[in-house]
Amino acid sequence: MGKTVRYSKNAGLHRGAWTVAEDMILTDYITIHGEGGWTSVPQKAGLKRCGKSCRLRWLNYLRSDIKLGNISPDEKELIIKLHQLLGNRWSLIAGRLPGRTDNEIKNYWNTHLSGKPLPNKLGSCSTPKTQKFNARSKSPSQTEDPHVLKVIPVKPKAVKVSKELHKSTNNGRSDHQDFAFPSEASPSKSWCELFVDELMVDNDLEFLDFTPTDNFIKLESPSMEVNGEYLPISTPNFIDQQDLFS
């Protein structure tokens, strides 16, 4: 059981902790050739590791922009707030903490913050270790305000969804569904992508808040394109993270 068993699946590959020599080989290779093509990296670099292992090692420890050292109180506060907003979406949380990785934040949360009482500024409570941010549960950010159901992360990418999205178009993921609509937050972009749960109830749009990449936006009567047809949408009122957190 354990690593010994799993490692034997690929007898020719090294597993476990990386050595200094391996780190140097990988760093040198990526310095010359750049990131990407992870499946071929081990072969080209001469490492007896799988591509996923190389990618993980590079992203979590070898990159030059990795921030070493303990999580600061400010970072801790931000992690807590972002976790209240986003749930266990470690990569999204890490994206707002320069130099920190999703793995590091995940470990920090599980070892230092999980299960401990947290501030309740956003009307939420601490999230159990294994709780998932899914469509069946209330959003971590849901408030008492009936017009503010949740805060939703936005990725800078368009997704068009069908009218039946609430039934089927969740791209195979159980924890969110994807939506798209014109973004006034980024005029240069035609679309934003949302992650929404409990969005549509009997074809009515019931959400009001979401977070774009750089700002938070509050919508009073949002709309979206559904099968080429626009549902009503109001002018967004931009609000700052500070306002949201205060």
What track of x and - describes contact with DNA for positions 86 through 105 (by CB under 7 A)?
A: --xxxxx---------xxx-
Q: Does 60 bind DNA (CB under 7 A)?
A: yes
Of 136-144, 170-178, 199-207, 218-226, which segment contacts DNA by CB under 7 A? Answer: 170-178
The distance of closest approach from Cβ of residue 220 to DNA in the complex, given in angstroms and rounded to an integer, is 28
C-beta of 11 vs 201, nearer to DNA: 11
Q: Which of 122, 166, 117, 119 is nearest to 140 (CA)?
A: 122
Q: Which of 167, 149, 171 is nearest to 222 (CA)?
A: 149
DSSP string across 2-32: THHHHHGGGTTS--SSPPHHHHHHHHHHHHH
Of 136-144, 164-172, 204-212, 233-241, which segment contacts DNA by CB under 7 A? Answer: 164-172
What track of x and - describes contact with DNA for positions 134 through 153 (by CB under 7 A)?
A: --------------------
DSSP E strands in the chain: the ranges are: 154-155, 177-181, 192-196, 200-201, 204-205, 209-210, 216-218, 225-226, 229-230, 237-239
152-170: burial string, b at 16+ Cβ within 10 Å, e else:
bbbeeebbbbeeebbeebb
Residue 138: strand, helix, or coil: coil
Q: Does 132 bind DNA (CB under 7 A)?
A: yes
* Encoded tokens for 144: 């008492």
Out of 64, 130, 235, 237, name the contact with DNA by CB under 7 A: 130
Out of 29, 108, 191, 207, name the contact with DNA by CB under 7 A: 108
Q: Does 36 bind DNA (CB under 7 A)?
A: yes
Of 109-117, 139-147, 200-208, 224-232, which segment contacts DNA by CB under 7 A? Answer: 109-117
Residue 229: strand, helix, or coil: strand
Q: Which residues in this chain contact DNA in the complex, by CB under 7 A?
A: 1-7, 9, 14-18, 36-39, 49-53, 55-57, 60-61, 88-92, 102-104, 106-108, 110-112, 129-130, 132, 155, 157, 159, 170-174, 178
